Amino acid sequence: NAGVTQTPKFQVLKTGQSMTLQCAQDMNHEYMSWYRQDPGMGLRLIHYSVGAGITDQGEVPNGYNVSRSTTEDFPLRLLSAAPSQTSVYFCASSYSRLAGGRSKNIQYFGAGTRLSVL
């Protein structure tokens, strides 16, 4: 298993440009999420999906779109990039495991995409 694969690893955009960050997982996980990581702020949830065809907003969804047409892929789109979107983006896939009657969500992260918007 390759796990969670993110492409590209690095990207530089000009303000107003659009692009798509790709994320693919081969673990047949139901859940997938996108986070951004900024210095001193940890990881903040942008959007997430609980299955193909279902997406929802996280903490910081503005300026980003997602879709989930297959279980494997969860692309993140920036329609008009802004300098405030300069960050490191992580995709995660997860499954919910029941143990002792209680569930927990174990997340597996990709290696990240470092995005700079000039």
Min dist CB 37 to another protein, Å, is 9
Q: Of 59, 83, 116, 118, which one interacts with another protein (CB under 8 A)? A: 59
In the 3-class helix/strand/coil scheme, how is 59-103 assigned residue by residue? CCCCCEEECCCCCCECCEEECCCCHHHCEEEEEEEEEEEEECCEE
Task: Decide the pairing of beta strands 76-78 and 64-66.
Answer: antiparallel
Q: x-or-dash pattern for another protein, window 63-102, by CB under 8 A?
A: ---------------------------x-x-x-x--xx-x
> Applying CB under 8 A, which of residues 22, 58, 75, 86 lies at the interface with another protein?
58
Ramachandran quadrant class, 29 (left: phi over 0; alpha: psi -120 to 50; beta: rest): beta
Applying CB under 8 A, which residues contact another protein?
4, 31, 33, 35, 40-45, 48, 50, 58-59, 90, 92, 94, 96, 99-100, 102-112
